Structure formats: C-alpha cells, structure tokens
C-alpha cells in the first residue's frame, strides 16, 4: 500500500495495530518529548495525541520508531527501491534475475514530481504561534519543528531537478524572533541548502524556502537521505512512495507539497539572529549561535492536519532507526562510491559523525615483506572528502586482507583487531584546523576542529592484556583505573580547566608518568574521563564519552610522543582526553517533575500503561 498523505498512513497503521490514540490532555512542553523517548525505548506503537494543551492540532509521535514499522510503511515499494540500487551496482543483474525488478519501472516512472494547481494543504491558513510548540529539553530556546522538510530550489537553475530538501531544524518561537513573522533556520555545514543560499547571495536575491510538515511518509524519509549532490530528494521520495509527488506550482513562488499537512512559506532574511539552545542528537545542547532567519509569508495547513514530531538526544533515539534504514538501503553502494572500501559504520552510539569505522583493502604493495597502511590511508582520505562521511571526526579503518571476517559493525572485535596491529608512531594521520560538524563542540571554534585517520594493516604486533598491569601507577589527580576491554584502560582524571585550543599540562604529566611504568605493551589505549565507572559500564557509554568529548589534535596524547617532519606519533600507549571540557556544551538532563508526570501516565490505570 502506498500512502499519498499522512492521514491515510495513520489510518492504516491503526488498523494494523501499529498506532494507538491518546485522548488524555498532554503538554507539548517537555511532556510529549519525554513520552516519545520512552515510547521509542519500549518499541511501542506510534502514538496519536488528540488533545494537546493549548493547541488545536493533534500530534503524532514514534511514527518511525522501529525498523519493522518503517518497512511496513514502505512494504509495497521497498523491493523496487532496493532493485534500483542493485541495478546501479550491477546493471546486468536485470537480465540474470528479471523477476527481482518487476516493480522498478513503476518506481522510475514515479520519480518525477507531478505539477498540480491546487491541493489540500492550501485549504486553511494559520499563524506560527498557533502551530504546535514542541519543547524537547528544559534549556531549549523555544518551540521547534523536529521533522521538517525544508525545500529550496537553485536560483541559477530553478526546477525540481536542482532542488534540495533537508531536515534542517526550525525554531518557531524565541526571544529573538518577531512573533509570527520570523522563524530560525539552522542548517549545518555541508548541506545542500547552503549551495542555494550562496547562489541567492551572489545574485543579490532572497532565497525562497518552503517548510513542509507531514504529508507522504516518503517525503520525510527523503529529507534525511544522504543522496549525492545533483540528485534531488523529491525524486527519491517519488520512487520510495510509489507515485509521482504532487507539487503545487504557483506564479512567482516555490512548489508546495500538495498533500502536506502544513507548509511555512517565506524567504531568508539578509541578517542572522541567535538560534538555540537546542538539545541535539549528540546528547548535548547546541548553544545559541547566529543562523539565518526565515521571514514568514504564510502558514497553510489542510483541514485534517496532524503534526508529526520526534525528539533527539543521546543515541539511540528515533533518528537511529532512520540511520539503520538508510544503511540497509545503501550499504551495497559503498564500494561504488569509495573505491577500495568494503564497509562503513557511522557509529550511532557515538553520535554518528564523531566516529566512523571502516573496512578497506590494502593492495598497493602486495609483495612487501611487511605490510603497512597505504591504500587504507587513501581510503580514509576519500571518506573524509565525499558525502556525509566527510563530517566524520575519527575515521578508524582496518584491512580486509588481515581478517576476511572483520566487520565494522562488530565493534568489540573491530577495536581488538585495530589495537593488536596499530603502530601509533606511524598509523595516525591528522587533519587540523579543518571544518567539523556544526553540532560538535570539541573543536577550536564553531565548525572548526580536527580529524584523524587511524589506519592499521599487517600482522599482529602485540597481545592485548585482559587484566590491569600490576605495575600501573598514576600521578596525583588520576585514579579509578578500569580495564574496559582487552587492551583498553579507562581512568578518572582531574576536572578540566584548560582553555580551548590548548593542551592540558595534567595530561602531559600523565603521559610522562606512564613512560616510567613497565609492562604496558598489552594496554595500548588509555581513555581519561570524569566518571570511570559510568564510562566503563558498557560499549554505548564508552563510545559516547570517548568520541563526543574529544578533539583529535587537541585531546590525543601519547607515551613517548614526538613530532618528526610534522608527523605526530607515540611509541607507547595512546591517551585520549575524553573529559568534559570547560568550554563544552552541557549534557542533556530531563526534568524530574515532567518524568514524574509521565510515570503517572504509564502507571496501572493510566492511558499509557502497558506501552511505556
């Protein structure tokens, strides 16, 4: 079944047990977000809230909360979309297995949007303040749209073929915005809307923007799809939806999604205003920074409009399922996009962009007596130079030739493989003073920090210890060492007090102290944290703390470290400073009173009992 709008999807989900209605009044400020996060963790059905405090529009949560539900929503088109990707890899498979591709022609036909003169979205008008004002975390700066489809077209080449649609966060209300006249538009670096904005600025024209909320589920998924530059998201939506997406084309304006539930139309103003704070998907707040402002011309909605929403925070959250679904569709394309790379894993537990694990080939000098990373370094640099993998901070890549069973998705085994083979005097390759993810506060400024490619190839160099070395001693201020995993020591460090963009003398003191300790060859990685017990509790905690709280150039130290011809390395263990820094954004914490209210809703006799 294909869903041409959100309401048909909700009706079908409810009919098939994938959605429940909640008629109890709930609050869009913090309460709904707390419910949604619990619903996701419990793998609960989607939830339609029919009575939202102070708002006349119903809201729906957890719509994409499980992979099974996403596959159910796209059950009639998914095989055809998978066939399109498979044909890109091997066009001749069509002749070998024609039965696999029966739905492909229809999907290809559905890719081009259909221009119409009217649609349900234009039935009614409202104002920004009357829209649902979702506040997900206590320090959020206002109400936000969390599942937006932000649509723009190239000013130089207007039309669907050169359009962009992304899920860029939208702040509806806040102290800095004129009520009903302005909304904040936060888009990060390496986003397609930025190219359109640059064209508009060069031409001296305002950039027109339409923000759709709701509508065909295929449009929501397309908005988060990391498509190559030059492939319009609205085309992919047509293939995934199984029909030509109807778009209303009006003279002098951008196309409007005919079946959207809501549409905010406007132009980007020539000035910026502070946007934020916002509790983001790394598990910390994005603080207030100047971002573009959208001058609102109109807010339209259909008569039966429903406002879909999600919340983000420390992974896993609902956006984790989006990532898994995208990986499922595109994993086979990786070798096509990155020559020599067999598998990539943007690690969700580490916030996606901070950590990318990869398996590549090492074939440059097959006759060498001692194999070392060469092709792997090329692969790592390619990953940092293309598509969304270019936002990665740590790229850790191993060679398939060393272990044909090596998988970037088996994280414990992958780290064991790397630590057994790495020569830290040779195998770390830094890029400093470069662009990093806008949401990452570990760098030297907003959008600026460092990256590292850690590549290892060849035979095993060491046996990893499975107990703490008896000889381990630590300087004052450091303690509570834990052997988290074979070869990995987690320990508590003193509170960070250094300034941004400088090394910490306390960490250098630790490295010097460890240089005097014998028997550390089996523990090549030390991670210094604020809470050793929390970090060492499980892999999710370890990955989140280690890679969201460190900048490679600033926060990597080493025993016996040296720099030779601008190449940094160390002959002893590598040390990662993964403490919260004095300049980091605060981590997300829930409101205890709100959590108690949700507890009551989930208690026996409550409307959410049995679901949360």
Per residue in 332-359, pLDDT tens? 778 878 889 999 999 999 999 999 999 9
Q: Is the pLDDT of residue 89 over 50?
A: no
The model's pLDDT over 467-508, given as tens digits with 9 standing for 90+, comes to 999 999 999 999 999 999 999 999 999 999 999 999 999 999
Cα-based angle 272, 274, 275 (whole degrees, multiple of 5):
105
Q: What confidence category does residue 93 fall into, taking pLDDT thresholds of 50, 70 and 90?
A: very low
DSSP string covering 221-232, please?
HHHH--PPTTS-
Report the range of poorest mean pLDDT among 365-379, 404-418, 467-481, 525-539: 365-379
The 3-class SS string of 422-467 reads CCCCCCEEEEEEEECCCCCCCCCECCEEEEEEEEECCCCCCCCCCC
| Residue 228 confidence (pLDDT) | 65
| Residue 106 confidence (pLDDT) | 60
The model's pLDDT over 11-61, given as tens digits with 9 standing for 90+, comes to 999 999 999 999 999 999 999 999 999 999 999 999 999 999 999 999 999
The model's pLDDT over 203-241, given as tens digits with 9 standing for 90+, comes to 999 999 999 999 999 999 999 988 766 678 999 899 899
Q: What is the Cα–Cα distance from 42 to 609, expressed in whole angstroms?
A: 12
Between helix 217-224 and helix 318-330 the angle, nearest 10°, is: 80
Q: Is the pLDDT of residue 99 over 80?
A: no
Q: Provide the 3-class DSSP secondary structure of residue 567.
A: strand
Q: Is the pLDDT of residue 191 over 80?
A: no
Taking residues 256-272, what's their average pLDDT?
96
Q: Where in the chain is the domain with CATH 3.40.1670.10?
A: 318-456
Give percent above pLDDT 70 in the chain.
Answer: 95
The model's pLDDT over 384-428, given as tens digits with 9 standing for 90+, comes to 988 788 899 999 999 999 999 999 999 999 999 999 999 999 999
How many alpha carbons fall within 13 Å on the CB side of residue 135? 20
Taking residues 516-533, what's their average pLDDT?
96
Of 26, 73, 25, nearest to 45 by C-alpha is 73
> How far is it between the farthest Cα atoms of the chain?
77
Strand runs (DSSP E) across 155-277, as ranges?
163-166, 169-171, 182-186, 208-213, 246-248, 256-257, 262-275
Q: What confidence category does residue 2 fall into, taking pLDDT thresholds of 50, 70 and 90?
A: confident
Q: Token digits for 575? A: 């040390």
Report CA-CA distances (Å) from 320 to 201, 325, 444: 35, 9, 28
The stretches of 483-565 forming alpha helices (DSSP H) are 505-514, 532-535, 539-548, 552-555
Q: What per-residue string of b and e applies to 568-581 under the rule 16 or more CB within 10 Å gives b?
A: bbbebbbbbbbbbb
- Facing residues of 346 across strands? 356
Strand runs (DSSP E) across 53-120, as ranges?
59-61, 114-116
Task: Provide the mean pLDDT of the chain.
Answer: 92
How many alpha carbons fall within 13 Å on the CB side of residue 542? 18
| Residue 430 confidence (pLDDT) | 97
Q: What is the Cα–Cα distance from 36 to 317, expressed in whole angstroms?
A: 9
Q: Is the peptide bond before 316 cis (omega within 30 degrees of 0)?
A: yes
Q: What is the Cα–Cα distance from 350 to 386, expressed in whole angstroms?
A: 20
Contact criterion met (CB below 8 Å) for 183 and 129:
no
Q: What is the Cα–Cα distance from 401 to 397, expressed in whole angstroms?
A: 12
DSSP string covering 288-304, please?
-EEEEEEEEEEEEE-TT
Contact criterion met (CB below 8 Å) for 383 and 396:
no
| Residue 81 confidence (pLDDT) | 76
The stretches of 204-252 forming alpha helices (DSSP H) are 217-224, 233-241
Q: Is the pLDDT of residue 103 over 60?
A: no
- Facing residues of 30 across strands? none
Q: What is the Cα–Cα distance from 292 to 577, expressed in whole angstroms?
A: 34
Taking residues 551-580, what's their average pLDDT?
97
| Residue 177 confidence (pLDDT) | 96
Q: What confidence category does residue 573 fall into, taking pLDDT thresholds of 50, 70 and 90?
A: very high
Q: What confidence category does residue 105 fall into, taking pLDDT thresholds of 50, 70 and 90?
A: low
φ, ψ for residue 240, nearest 5 deg:
-70, -35
Q: What is the Cα–Cα distance from 423 to 425, expressed in whole angstroms?
A: 5
Q: Is the pLDDT of residue 452 over 70?
A: yes
Q: Which CATH number is 318-456 given?
A: 3.40.1670.10
């Amino acid at each position: 079944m294909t869903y041409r709008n959100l309401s048909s999807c909700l009706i079908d989900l409810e009919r098939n047990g994938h959605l429940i209605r909640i008629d109890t009044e709930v609050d869009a400020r913090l309460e709904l977000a707390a419910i949604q996060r619990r619903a996701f963790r419990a793998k609960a059905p989607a939830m339609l809230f029919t009575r939202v405090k102070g708002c006349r529009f119903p809201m729906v949560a957890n719509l994409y909360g499980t992979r099974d539900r996403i596959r159910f929503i796209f059950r009639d088109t998914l095989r055809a979309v998978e066939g399109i990707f498979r044909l890109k890899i091997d066009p001749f498979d069509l002749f070998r297995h024609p039965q696999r591709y029966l739905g492909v022609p229809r999907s290809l036909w559905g890719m081009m949007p259909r221009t119409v003169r009217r649609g349900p979205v234009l039935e009614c008008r409202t104002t920004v303040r009357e829209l649902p004002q979702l506040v997900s975390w206590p320090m959020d700066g206002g109400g936000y749209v969390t599942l937006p489809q932000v649509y723009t077209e190239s000013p130089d080449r207007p039309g669907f073929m050169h359009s962009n649609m992304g899920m860029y966060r939208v702040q509806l209300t806040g102290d800095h915005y004129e009520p009903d006249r302005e909304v904040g538009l936060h888009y990060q670096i390496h986003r397609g809307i930025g190219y359109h904005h640059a064209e508009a600025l060069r031409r001296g024209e305002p950039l027109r923007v339409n923000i759709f909320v709701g509508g065909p589920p295929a449009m929501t998924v397309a908005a988060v799809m990391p498509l190559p530059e030059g492939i319009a998201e609205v085309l992919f939506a047509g293939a995934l939806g199984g029909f030509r997406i109807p778009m209303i084309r009006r003279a002098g304006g951008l196309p409007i999604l005919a079946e959207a539930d809501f549409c905010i139309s406007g132009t980007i103003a020539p000035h910026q205003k502070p946007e934020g704070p916002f509790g983001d998907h790394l598990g910390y707040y994005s603080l207030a920074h100047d971002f573009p402002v959208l001058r609102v011309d109109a807010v339209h909605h259909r008569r039966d409009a429903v406002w879909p929403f999600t919340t983000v925070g420390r992974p896993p959250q609902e956006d984790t399922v989006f990532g898994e679904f995208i990986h499922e569709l595109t994993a086979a394309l990786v070798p096509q996009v990155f020559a020599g790379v067999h598998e990539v894993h943007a690690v969700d537990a580490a916030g996606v962009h901070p950590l990318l694990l990869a398996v590549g080939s090492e074939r440059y000098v097959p006759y060498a007596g001692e194999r070392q990373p060469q092709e792997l370094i090329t692969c790592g640099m390619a990953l940092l130079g293309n598509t969304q993998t270019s936002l990665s901070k740590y790229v850790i890549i191993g060679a398939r030739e060393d272990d044909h069973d090596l998988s970037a998705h088996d994280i414990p085994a992958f780290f064991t493989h790397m630590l057994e083979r790495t020569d830290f005097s040779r195998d770390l390759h830094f890029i400093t003073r470069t662009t990093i993810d806008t949401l990452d506060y570990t760098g030297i400024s907003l959008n600026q920090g460092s990256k590292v490619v850690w590549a290892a190839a060849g035979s095993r160099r060491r046996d990893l210890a499975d107990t703490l070395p008896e000889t381990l001693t630590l300087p004052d201020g450091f303690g509570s060492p834990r052997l988290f995993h074979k070869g990995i020591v987690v320990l508590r460090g003193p509170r960070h007090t250094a300034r941004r963009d400088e090394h910490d003398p306390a960490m250098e003191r630790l490295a010097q102290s460890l240089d005097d300790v014998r028997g550390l060859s089996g523990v090549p990685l030390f991670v210094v944290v604020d809470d050793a017990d929390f970090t060492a509790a499980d892999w999710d905690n370890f990955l989140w703390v280690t890679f969201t709280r460190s900048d490679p150039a600033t926060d990597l130290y080493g025993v016996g470290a040296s720099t030779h011809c601008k190449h940094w390395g160390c002959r002893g263990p590598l040390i990662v400073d993964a403490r919260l820094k004095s300049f980091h954004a605060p981590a997300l914490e829930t409101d205890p009173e709100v959590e108690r209210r949700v507890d009551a809703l989930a208690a026996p006799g409550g409307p959410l009992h049995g679901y949360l």
